[in-house]
Amino acid sequence: MAAELFDHRLDHMVAADADAVAQELDREVAVAEVPGDADQLGIGVGMDFGERLGAGAHGDDAAANERQAIAVAQAGGLWQVEQEIGAGLGAQDDAAAVAAVEIDQHRVGGIGRVPGAGGKHGLAAQGHRASVSGHVAVQKGVCGVGGAGDCGYGFGIDHREETNTMTTAPERLRALLAQPGFVTMPAVWDGLSAMLSAAAGFETAFLSGSCCAAARLGGPDLDLISFGEMYNSFEMVRGAAPQTLVLADGDHGYGNAMNVQRTVRAYGRAGAAAILIEDKITPRALQSAGKPCISRDEARMKARAAIEAAKESGILILARTDCRPTQGIDEALARIEMYAKEGADILFLDSPATHEEYAMGVQAAGGKPCFNVLSPGPGPIPSREEAIKLGIKIGTYPTIMLSPAINAMMQGLKALQDGGNASALALPAAEHREVLGYPAYDVAGKPYRLD
- How far, CA to CA in Å, does 237 sit from each of 210, 242, 245? 15, 8, 10
**pLDDT at 75 (0 to 100):** 31
Report CA torsion sign: 103, 106, 110, 114: positive
Q: What angle do CA 394, 398, 400 make, to 5 degrees?
A: 100
Q: Where are the domains of the chain?
A: 2-163, 168-397, 404-443
Closest listed residue to residue 157, CA positions, set 143, 141, 136: 143
Residue at 5: amino acid letter = L
As a whole number of angstroms, the distance between CA 70 and CA 89 comes to 9
Where in 84-230 does DSSP place strands (E)?
A: 112-115, 121-124, 183-188, 204-207
H or E segment to which residue 371 belongs? strand 371-373
Q: How many helices (H) and strands (E) does the chain have?
A: 18, 13
Q: Which CATH superfamily is domain 168-397 in?
A: Phosphoenolpyruvate-binding domains (3.20.20.60)
Provide the pLDDT for residue 110.
Answer: 31
Please report the pLDDT score of residue 289 as a whole number.
82
Sheet strands (E) in 171-300:
183-188, 204-207, 245-249, 274-278
Could you give the count of Cα atoms lying within 13 Å of 355 in the half-sphere of its Cβ? 11
List the Cα angle 294/296/300 in 5-degree steps: 100
Helices (H), 241-328: 257-270, 296-310, 324-327
Q: Which pLDDT score is estimated for 388?
A: 98
Rounded Cα distance between 212 and 204, Å, is: 17
For the whole model, what pTM was predicted?
Answer: 0.67
Spans of the chain, pLDDT less than 50: 1-18, 21-22, 24-25, 27-165
Q: What is the pLDDT of residue 23?
A: 54
